[in-house]
Amino acid sequence: MAWIILLASGVMEAVWAIALSKSEGLKKLWPSVIFLVTNVLSLIGLAVAMKHLPTGTAYAAWTATGASLTVVYAMVSGEEKATLVRIGVLLALVACVVGLKVVA
């Protein structure tokens, strides 16, 4: 269950990062509200997961999940170029997170 909470928290991390970007420096109301709410939810989920998972593993998986999803969003939306190298690096990052779960 801790891993499910951790991955959901990683998704919330991606949402708050994207919302923060869309808020234009917290000047737009709704992206700012989404940023604040998902930021709090993400950190609460991380805290709950860290009760049951090693700190380093939990934090690495949380950041990797959020970062990967944020980059995928940027590539899909056209904000960043999707290249084979970039996709390969993202797949390697995901493989590292899976590896952390396997050895945890």
Show the 3-state SS of 22-84: HCCCCCCHHHHHHHHHHHHHHHHHHHHHCCCCCHHHHHHHHHHHHHHHHHHHHHHHCCCCCCH
- pTM for the structure as a whole: 0.91
Residue type, 30: W
pLDDT tens string, the chain, 104 residues long: the values are 999 999 999 999 999 999 999 999 999 999 999 999 999 999 999 999 999 999 999 999 999 999 999 999 999 999 999 999 999 999 999 999 889 888 86
Amino acid 27: pLDDT = 98
Please state the domain count of the chain. Answer: 1
- Domain limits at 93? 2-103
Please check whether residue 41 is in contact with residue 81, taking contact to mean a CB–CB distance below 8 angstroms: no
